[in-house]
Each structure stands twice: as C-alpha cells, then as structure tokens.
Chain A
Amino acid sequence: MIAEAGLAALWLAAALALLQLVLAFAPAKLPGGTAPVRSVAIIQGALTLFALAMLMLLFVRSDMSVLLVAANSHSAKPLIYKLAGAWGNHEGSMLLWVTVLGVAGAILAAFSRRLDERTFAAALGAQGALALGFFGFLLFASNPFARLDPPAMEGRGLNPLLQDPGLVFHPPTLYLGYVGLSVAFSLAVGALVTGRVDSALAKAMRPWVLGAWILLTLGITAGSYWAYYELGWGGWWFWDPVENASLMPWLAATALLHSVNVLAARDSLRAWTVMLAMVAFSMSMVGTFLVRSGILTSIHAFAVDPHRGTFLLALLAVYVGAAFALFAARSGRLSEGPRFELVSREAALVGNNLLLTVILGIVFLGTLYPLFVEAATGEKLSVGAPYFNAVAGPIALVLALLIGVGPLLNWRRDGGDRLKRLAVPALVGVTVLLIALFVIPGGGLLPKLGLGAAATLAIASLLPLAGRKLRRTPLSTWGMVVAHFGVAVAIVGMAGSELTTKEVLIAARPGERITVGPWLVEFNSVSPAAGPNWTALEAELRASRGGGVAVLKPQSRFYSDPPTETNEAAIETVLSGQLYTVLGKPAEDWRWQLRLWWKPLVTLIWLGGALIALGGTLALGGRAWRGWRRRRI
C-alpha cells in the first residue's frame, strides 16, 4: 500500500501541476487574484514531499516487493544507507529532484510578496510547466514505485562506493542547489512574459539565487572531498564531465548572484540578468541530463540509460528552447536602465560576470568538445586537466584580483580614491610571488601566480571592513568579505598543495620504515577486519614527525552485496596539511603496495569552500533578518 500511496500522490501532483499551468495563464481573470494558483502550488509541493517520504519508508522497511528497493538495497545495510539508498539510484534521485522542484514552487507560492500579480502568476505557471514535464518523466519513464512480482528474497545492495556519509548529504545538497535555480528561471520567464524586469524582480529572485548558490557551493565542496578520500587517488578535482556538470551551474549562479545585486540596487543589467537566470537553470538541466543519460564517459556513470536520456533531452530542449525563444522575442523591449561609468562598482561586477561567463564557456566547451568532434569528424579524443587548467586557470586568477578591487568602488561612478588602499595587498602579493618563484623548485608557473593572487586577495578582501564600526557593519557586507576571503583560502590550498605534495609509491614489507615529506611512517602489519557488510585487509601505519605518533589504518575492502573491492584511504589531518595513505594489492614475497602522500595546505581547499558558503549564509541571513524587522516595524 505504501508504494501505491506514493504513486497516487505523484499522479495527483502531476494533475495539479497541469492545473497550475492552466490557472496561471488562464485568459479570464479569476476571482481571488493569484490565491488559487498559490494554493495549488503549495498542495503540489506537499504531495511530492509525501511521495518521497513513502519511498524512504519503503527503503527503511526493506520492502523487497518494490523493484527499486530490491535492486538497490539490502536488509543488512546500516539504516542511514538504507535512507540514503532512496536517492542513490536513478528513479529515487529523479524523485528527489521533482520533490525539490515541487517544494521550491510551494515555498515561492507561500512566501513571495514582492512581485506584481501578473509577473508572479506567470512565474508560478512556468514553475508548473517545469514540474509537469518532470512528473511525466518520472511516471512514464522512471517510476520509483514499480512492484516486483514475485518479491525478491534479498536486495542486490548498494554500490559500496556510495555507502559513505558523503552520499547522505552530497546529492540532496546539489539537487537543492540545482533545482533551487528553477525558481530564478521561472521568475525570469514570468518577468519576460509581462515585460517587467526591474529591481522588484531582482529582490524576489535574490534569496533563491543566494540559497541555491550556497547549497551548490556546499555540494561541490563536499563532493570534492568525498572523491578525494573515497576514491583513493589523492586528487580533489578530476575535470570529469559530471564534476563539470555541477561546476557549470555554480559558475552561472555565481555570475547571476552578482548581476542580480546590480539589478536590485541600480536597476541595471536587465536583459543580462534575465539571460543568466535562464542559463543557470539550463546548466542544471544539462547537468542532470549528462549524469542521467551517461552520454559522456564518466566515473559517475552509476545509473545510466540512453532511453531515459532521450526523454530528458526532449524536456531540456523544450524548456530551454522556449525560454531562449521568449528572450529573443521580448528582450528587445527591455530598456537598458541607468548608465554607469567605467570605474564603478557596476563596471567591476560586469567584469566579474564576463570573466565567469568566459570560464563557464571554457568548461562547457571542454566538456562537450569530444562529442562535437566525434559528431563532426568521427575522431575520438578526450579533454582533460591540462586544457582546463591552462585555459581557465589564468582567467580565474584575473578574476581573483578583480574580486579584491570591486567591493572598494562606489556605485555609478568612482574617483578611485579608495583604490590607493590596494597598494599594500599588491605589494604583499608580488612579494609572495617572487618568493614562490625563487624558493620553490619546479611546479609550473600557474600555481605560483595563484599564490601571489591569493595573497593579494586575502588582504584586499578584508579592506571593505577597514575604517568601519565592525558591530554596525551589515551582515551582508560581512558575508561578502568572508566569501571573498574564502576564495583566497581555497586558491592557497589548490596552488600550495599542487606545489608541495610529496608522493611515495612503494612495495613494502611489514616492519619497514618509509619517509614521505617530514613524516616517518612505520609499516607495522596487515590484518583482517570486518564491518556490517564488508570484510577488509587493514594495514597499520604509525606515522610521526618529531612529536606524537598517529596510527593510520588504510583498508582494502571487499563488499559482498554486490561483490566489489574498494580502497578506504586513511588520512591524518594536521594543521599544515594531510598525510594520505592507501593500501594496495599484495606484491611478491610478503610485500604490500602502499601509496603515501604528504599534502601540505590541501585542507584549505575545502575550508575555503566552506568559508564561501558561510559568507553566502551570512548574507542571506542578514537580508532575511532585515526584511523581517522591516515588516515588524
């Protein structure tokens, strides 16, 4: 019954999405204004949430008469992975996607009060149209509640790589971010329909963009750390198509976040902001399509089906095509808004947007280039890290420097007086660059330039606070400072670990001692270990560098359902970096393959990501607090 209840809720929600679309664009004016559309959107959101809860309940109860549970779960699995297993597969993850879409629509309907009625109704209609297509996809091509008759005796288990706390948080966070952008998309469509692109639209859109952007930042950061420790390669970013698929919406959302501020504060960049809002969610759909269709070779190809890919591609083409066509038809009527000078905050933000867009273009082209080339010439090739680093890296560094400048400028026009303050950070940056160039041997130019740029930015990002009463400074300014400082921290982590990582790959006998960087690692033993649904060979390593001893236990794990081998890296985190150890295969005459890395500064990458997200949260919290107080007074 649980499965049937979930399915019924989905059908009902789909019917309501259709109703929402019809009500929003109904030619006759309805009594009650937007109230009926709002109610429909809210009920639809509640129904999707109910359906997701039913699926999670089925997973918790290990109901093997449901195909999805039997194919992906196992009764011996820990409870948290049973829950997470609900979205660790194609159908479940699409249900999560649709649920987020429905709930976002409901929240928009319930709380947004800023917009004029017509624009708002059109936006809700667009949201209904989006939901309708994805409901269709779920019900006709990926029903998560399909029954299995006769029921299975036992489930097939979840891919062990996914049995990790990372899976519990990574997909929902990313999906919340991906789909949160759908609201920005719908609002942009609504505004184009009525032709009212103004600061009220920007203010309605801003919390959604900011919220989605925070979650995308967290999702990408967490995903990067998960890949780093779980896949056992010691790398944190692989320019894999699916990683790029999450980076592209983030880049677009970052640009949108800044342009929406310009629109809100100065009523400028109208057409551009609307376009970005459409591009951001389009990139989310492209990302979902790339992951779900598996058309690009990727390590993320966990659940792949080309037929479903066709359905998703059709949805993507219809929605994005319709939105872009609307833009082409209507954007000519949008006036440009107030002008600004070349030296002004607007200009700096336009620069930021241009650079982010160029990086987005580079990533997009690099990700799809192999596909274009093979379609055109039949030649197979792959695009990897060298392209992305060499092409996007320098632009990102220019952007990092611009981040230091922009916040010091006034809106509209600026005499450039405050730019003199940049002398100190510039000097520090050049000094750091020179030290890096002459002291650190090898390692390439880009990471060294990165250290210089990051040093400049780290100091420059704090300048907006200089001369202010810190307790009176608005939270949104604090947020900006923290996020910009986080960018500097992350760049130090990326560049620093690139320049200073030490790697040792060795076949060692128990009892041997290995030096890696400042660490002396003693290889003690290899012994068997067991968990709830796996057995493992576990090495014991005792690592020291002068002071105390850290015991590391990297494992080579064997999961029985489904039979899979994984490497569980053991990581020792200290203030200055991480010691990363992996146990490999047994070699001849009682030796074991060991891979050891000393990665100084590497933790700063994720710390920077967390700071960026924290900055966003401060800004969002500050704006919400101010809005709440204003309403109370």
Chain B
Amino acid sequence: MGRWLRFLPVLLLALVVGAMVWRLANPPDTTIESKLIGQPAPQFAGEPALAGKPVLSSADLADGRPKLVNFFASWCVPCMAEAPVLMELKRRGVPIVGIAVRDRPADVAEFLASNGEPFERIAADPESELQLAFGSAGVPETFLVDGRGVVRMEHVGPIEPGDIREIVEAVESAR
C-alpha cells in the first residue's frame, strides 16, 4: 500500500469533520422565501368589504407610494393583537391597505370600530382567492409593495412592536 494512501482516511475524516463543524457553526436556515418577492403583485379588481370605504384594486398598488398590504379578518385573534402596531405604523406615515379574508361587512365594521382603522382602502376576499394569488398561508400576513406594484417583502404572522423599525426602514428604502 502506498505511503500516501495510508493517510487518506485521516484526510477524508478531516474534510468531513470540517464540513460538520461548519454546519454546527452555521445552523441551516430552513425558511423558504416567498416566490413573489421581486415579482409584480397579482392583478385583481377588488370587491367592497364595507359600505363607504374606498375599494382596493391592484391598480392602487402601483400609485407611486410604497405601502403595506395587510391580510386580516375580524375572526382572527392575532389580528386584534396586531391592530395597535398597524395604527402606530400609520402614525409614522406608512400607507396601509387591507384585504379582509372570508369576512362579512358588518363584522369588518365592528372590528375596525373597536380595534382602530389603519387602512386607506380595503378589498373583500370572501373566497380566499386573493390570499391564494398572493401565496399567503393565513391571517395576519403582510406584504410590502413598492410604488411600481412590485412585492418587496413578506411578513408572516402578526407584526409585533419590535418589528416596527425594520418595517419602516424597508418602506423607506422601497421609495
């Protein structure tokens, strides 16, 4: 057996252990980014969610201002918890539009009356069609769409107070 061949197992071991050490030091990131990031938001003509509220359509997403698209529902408890954070974002000048998922106008009105009303426009999504088109898995879920209607960021679950700075910065940089 050649001399170098006898050291081959040691070398191979070093290589394998090295790769494993690297993996232990860099735990795998198992999140899968939304395929919509960097793509134009889906086209849709919104239905009114409640009387007297401007209706959201895809044309409104490309009006030059970056904005948040928030999927919510009156029957969703985490949305209630998220509501004050959305109000805070609105106070800081972030435009927000809403999509009410599988909801009734009366319930939406009551939800907004008791939890605050951060939305400029709202579209109703009675059959979850918009939700599917955006690839959203549940409520609440929020997308950042830039002024040209391109999706820049997805936030799954309620936005929490700790996320406000990151989101405001993302909105700024999408301008």
Q: Chain B contacts of A324 at CB under 8 A?
A: 9-10, 13
Taking the complex as formed, is B17 at the interface, i.e. its CB lies under 8 A from any CB of chain A?
yes
Scoring B14, B22, B23, B30 by chain A CB atoms within 10 A of each residue's CB, the highest score goes to B23
Q: Chain B contacts of A289 at CB under 8 A?
A: 20
If A321-B10, A328-B7, A328-B10 touch, does A306 touch B20 (CB 8 Å cutoff)? no
Taking the complex as formed, is B91 at the interface, i.e. its CB lies under 8 A from any CB of chain A?
no
If A297-B30, A331-B1 touch, does A306 touch B24 (CB 8 Å cutoff)? yes
Taking the complex as formed, is B27 at the interface, i.e. its CB lies under 8 A from any CB of chain A?
yes
Taking the complex as formed, is B59 at the interface, i.e. its CB lies under 8 A from any CB of chain A?
no
From residue A80, how far is it (CB to closest CB) to chain B in Å?
34
Q: Chain B contacts of A328 at CB under 8 A?
A: 6-7, 9-10
Q: Mark B1-25, 1 if CB is under 8 A from A, else 0.
A: 1010011011001101111111110
B-side interface mostly: helix
If A306-B27, A332-B3 touch, does A375 touch B10 (CB 8 Å cutoff)? no
Taking the complex as formed, is B52 at the interface, i.e. its CB lies under 8 A from any CB of chain A?
no
Q: Which partner residue on chain B sits nearest A331 by CB separation?
A: B6
Q: How large is the interface on B (under 10, 10 to 19, 20 to 34, 35 or more residues)?
A: 20 to 34
Q: Chain B contacts of A278 at CB under 8 A?
A: 9
A-B contact count, CB below 8 Å? 59
Which among A310-318, A400-408, A607-615 touches the partner chain? A310-318
If A297-B28, A310-B24, A332-B1 touch, does A327 touch B6 (CB 8 Å cutoff)? yes
Q: Complex Cα distance A271/B27, Å?
A: 38
Q: Chain A contacts of B10 at CB under 8 A?
A: 321, 324-325, 328
If A297-B30, A327-B6, A332-B3 touch, does A317 touch B24 (CB 8 Å cutoff)? no
Q: Are the C-beta atoms of A313 and B9 separated by less than 8 Å? A: no
Q: Which partner residue on chain A sits nearest B2 by CB separation?
A: A332
Q: Mark B107-135, 1 if CB is under 8 A from A, else 0.
A: 00000000000000000000000000000
From residue B29, how far is it (CB to closest CB) to chain A in Å?
9
Q: Complex Cα distance A328/B10, Å?
A: 8
Q: Which of B3, B16, B19, B24 contacts A293 (CB 8 A)?
A: B24
Scoring A271, A316, A375 by chain B CB atoms within 10 A of each residue's CB, the highest score goes to A375
Q: Mark B124-159, 1 if CB is under 8 A from A, else 0.
A: 000000000000000000000000000000000000
If A306-B24, A375-B22 touch, does A332 touch B17 (CB 8 Å cutoff)? no
Taking the complex as formed, is A139 at the interface, i.e. its CB lies under 8 A from any CB of chain B?
no
Q: Complex Cα distance A332/B5, Å?
A: 10
Q: Are the C-beta atoms of A313 and B17 separated by less than 8 Å? A: yes
Q: Are the C-beta atoms of A295 and B13 separated by less than 8 Å? A: no
If A317-B13, A324-B13 touch, does A332 touch B23 (CB 8 Å cutoff)? no
Scoring B6, B20, B22, B27 by chain A CB atoms within 10 A of each residue's CB, the highest score goes to B20
Q: Which partner residue on chain A sits nearest B3 by CB separation?
A: A332
Q: Which of A275, A282, A286, A295 contacts B23 (CB 8 A)?
A: A295
If A332-B1, A332-B3 touch, does A295 touch B9 (CB 8 Å cutoff)? no
Q: Are the C-beta atoms of B27 and A372 separated by less than 8 Å? A: no
Q: Are the C-beta atoms of B1 and A321 separated by less than 8 Å? A: no
Taking the complex as formed, is A618 at the interface, i.e. its CB lies under 8 A from any CB of chain B?
no
Q: In chain A, residues 296-342, which have Cβ atoms closer than 8 Å to a Cβ of chain B?
A: 297, 306, 309-310, 313, 316-317, 320-321, 324-325, 327-328, 331-332
CB pairs A–B below 8 angstroms (19 shown): A271-B1, A275-B9, A279-B9, A286-B16, A293-B20, A295-B23, A295-B28, A297-B30, A321-B14, A324-B10, A327-B9, A328-B7, A331-B6, A368-B19, A371-B19, A371-B20, A371-B23, A372-B19, A375-B23
Q: Which 9 residue pairs are nearest across A and B when measured between Cβ atoms?
A: A324-B9, A328-B6, A324-B10, A375-B22, A295-B23, A317-B17, A328-B7, A375-B19, A371-B19
Binding site for B on A (CB under 8 A): 271, 275, 278-279, 282, 286, 289, 293, 295, 297, 306, 309-310, 313, 316-317, 320-321, 324-325, 327-328, 331-332, 368, 371-372, 374-375
8 additional A-B residue pairs with CB within 8 Å, beyond A293-B20, A295-B28, A372-B19: A275-B9, A289-B20, A295-B20, A321-B13, A331-B6, A332-B6, A375-B18, A375-B19
